[in-house]
A and B are shown apart, each in its own frame.
Chain A
Amino acid sequence: MLIWTKTEIPSSEITPKATYMNRRAFMAAAAAAGVAAVAGEGMARMLRPSNVEADEKLTTVKSQYSTPGLTPTPLEDITHYNNFYEFGVNKGDPAKNAGMLKTRPWTVQVEGLVKQKKTFDIDALLKMKPLEDRIYRFRCVEAWSMVIPWVGYSLSEFINACEPLPSAKYVQFISLADRKDELLPFEAGISWPYSEGLRMDEAMHPLTLLTFGLYGDVLPNQDGAPVRVIVPWKYGFKSGKSIVKVKFVKDQPHTTWNDMAPNEYGFYSNVNPNVDHPRWSQKRERVIGAPIFRQLQPTLMFNGYGDQVASLYAGMDLRKNY
């Protein structure tokens, strides 16, 4: 069955004009290349949504979980300032190198404490639930931040489809690690594949997003295509990219940065201005894409999502469980 819901706020409206105009220019060029062909193809896709790959528009609906009142970071910055060590350790590397990643065919394997093992095809996942436009704050542990208009649906929808057993207390996300598709540079110091994890109640929280796109388009490769997780109240590294495996487990799974430096990167890694990092003060953050004298802003507890998520951690000492 197809889900056709009219988008109330088209992504074009939340896109900075410069970016949008570029897309317009691109579309005009495409139109010039053959109006009829493009329109015909577009119609065909509407009737039979098949494979969706980079630079392709997604059909999205408005979401009650989107953060109001935020101005999204320009697309140029979101796609050229990335930590994605599989493609190099410098911020500009993923934009240069992620072209080698092939996002089709792509499957996500589900295993561990589930009723039965399953494998989801990416195109099935894209059609499983309506894709929502969700503007979230994004806070990196390195004390910089962005505002990103993601596209996806709550991870809980996917987890329900996985049918985990009651004994599953944590969920682990394994990212792709494949030398054919990625550089996996030695100097990253990471033992691949990248692994992240959440407590079950964190994973089931409606804000936790299974993410397929941004700015209304399919995820650019350097932002974790074709499917990633976004946990807006945690530091960015908690949100695994290019997910190939989801595992339901009883005990807290090992996670990459926690393995590398447990005193610097905790399992929880909730955005917390009161718990400092040995290199970066977490009290403030630099807004990416902002003018130099207006970059600095205070960091909010739980990245501003405290009203929704603080109850998950009631009674926990967040200084100890950083």
Chain B
Amino acid sequence: MSRRWIVALKVVAHVACLGPIAWLLWRLYLSLTTDPTALGPDPTHTVTFFTGRGTLRLLVITLAVTPVRRLIPKLSWLGRFRRLLGLYAFFYACLHLLTYVGLYAGWSWAAMMDDISQRRFITAGLAAWLMLVPLALTSTTWSIRKLGGKNWNRLHWLTYAAAISGVIHYWWGVKSGVKTPLAITVVLGVLLLARPVLKYRAQSAELSLQKKRVSESAG
């Protein structure tokens, strides 16, 4: 992949990540001016759902980068998009949190404390966001160098924990009977399985290679 292609694709990625936010802001503007129905009957819920769903989707896409690279070596250039995607996931998560703080809790500290202690779906969501904070802070090249690749990698396993916590937050947040979180749960489940499966595949490939060598040398 040439440098020019990478730059072009990065522009596409930025547009793809910011586009939905631009659309949401446009609907927000319309809802406050000419068309009160632009964000639906429950605008607070619309914005919350939109940013929350966006966060989970971006998190899952970020997590898919490495397995896809392993599976299809030709696509290894995707690794250069992982930071960008992860940071956009955090950006969406911040918007989601802001929506909650401003529009649900009405900036009330007491209301937030109440929610965090009493409502497990809020606790799970907050936990997910808190896990994303150190990941965003250590996303710079400088941090990777400072922490060392191994430590940095270990820390960034938290992405999985954040995604799992986020999906739990989704399930606990919807009413019993509602199955909308199912799709994202399945995708995350596949990704969680992909890691050990790919690792096992790589190991057994290496093992058979070794065996082959042994048998060859014996023969």
Contact = CB atoms under 8 A, between A and B. Distances in A.
A26 to B, nearest CB: 19
Interface string B196-216: 000000000000000000000
Counting chain B residues whose Cβ lies within 8 A of the other chain, the interface size class is: 20 to 34
Contact of B43 (A187, A281, A295): A295
A81 B104 CA distance: 19
Interface stretch (A63-71, A221-229, A283-291): A283-291
A76 interface: yes
Interface string A284-320: 1010110111011000000000000000000000000
B176 A260 contact: yes
Q: How large is the interface on A (under 10, 10 to 19, 20 to 34, 35 or more residues)?
A: 20 to 34
Interface stretch (B5-13, B78-86, B110-118, B128-136): B110-118
A279 B173 contact: yes
A89 interface: yes
Contact of B37 (A76, A260, A293): A76
B111 A284 contact: yes
Contacts of B179: 187
Contact of B175 (A142, A144, A295): A142
Secondary structure call for the A interface? loop
A279 B103 contact: no
A276 interface: yes
A190 B45 CA distance: 25
Contact of A261 (B39, B119, B176): B176
Contacts of B121: 279
Interface in A137-182: 142, 144
Contact of A292 (B44, B175, B177, B178): B44
B172 interface: yes
6 contacts: A81-B40, A187-B179, A279-B172, A289-B41, A291-B36, A292-B28
